[in-house]
Structure 1
Amino acid sequence: MFGNQNMQQMMKQVKQMQANVESEQAQIADTDYVGHAPADAVVATFTGDRILKDLQFAEGVVDADDPDTLADMMIAAVNDALKQIDADSSKRLGQYMPNMPF
C-alpha cells in the first residue's frame, strides 16, 4: 500500500514529533506558574506538573473571624495558576496535536 520509502519517512516524522512533544512536556513541568488572587491577597505557585510549590498570604488577609474570605482568595489564586498551566500546555502542545485537550 505505502512504498517502503514513504513509510520510513512517515516513521521518522512521527519519532521527531514524539521527541518534540516530550521536550515541550519537560519544559512545562520545569516551569513555575504563579496564580494571583485579587490584589495579590494570596499567591499560589505550581510546577507545570500541577504540584503546589508555595502559597503566600498578604499581610492582614488571614482573619480568624473571616475564614471564608481567605478560602475564596486561595481558590482564586490556585485556579489562576492552573489556568496558566492549561493555557501554556495548549499553546506548546497544540501545535503537535491540534484539537486535543491538555
Structure 2
Amino acid sequence: MFPGGDMQKLLQQAQQMQADMMQAQAELAESEVTASAGGGLVSATVTGDGELKGVKIDPKAVDPEDVETLEDLILAAVQAATEDAKRLAADKMGPLGDALGGMTGGLGLPGM
C-alpha cells in the first residue's frame, strides 16, 4: 500500500505539520490587535486567538445621558478587533489550514 517507505515519509510530514500548527497557535496567542470606534473614542485589544484583553474609553465618550452610544462604540470596537484577530489567524494559519483542510478523505498531504 505504501511502497518504498512512503508511509514513514508521510508520518514525518504529518508530525512536522503538527509542530508547525502548534507553533503558529502559540504565536497567535501572544499576538495582539487593537481596533477603535468613534474616531478613537473607544478601542479594544484582542489576542490573535480571540481573547479580549482590554478596552479603553476616552472620557469624552462618557455621557450619562447617552449610555447607548457608548455601548454601541464598545461593541463596534470589540467586533472590529475580533475581525482583525480572525484575519491575523487566517494569515498565520492559512497554509497549515489549507493542508489540514483536506482531511475528509485523507490527511490532506501529497500522496494521500
Same-fold status (TM-score > 0.5): yes
Cα distance in 1, alignment partners of residues 38 and 3 from structure 2: 59
Of all paired residues, the percent bearing the same amino acid is: 32
Root-mean-square deviation (CA, aligned residues, Å) is: 1.6
Matches within 5 A, 1:18-97: 18-97=18-97
Cα distance in 2, alignment partners of residues 88 and 98 from structure 1: 15
Cα distance in 2, alignment partners of residues 55 and 95 from structure 1: 32
Moved over 3 A (4+): none
Cα distance in 1, alignment partners of residues 8 and 86 from structure 2: 34
Match of 1:9 in 2: 9
Offset of 1:17 from its aligned partner?
0.7
Length-normalised TM-score, structure 2? 0.82
Cα distance in 1, alignment partners of residues 28 and 54 from structure 2: 17
Cα distance in 1, alignment partners of residues 14 and 91 from structure 2: 20
Length-normalised TM-score, structure 1? 0.89
CA deviation profile, 1:41-90 (whole Å, cap 9, x unmatched): 10111223322221111131011100110011001100111001110111
The 8 Å contact of residues 47 and 53 in structure 2, kept in 1 or not, is answered as yes
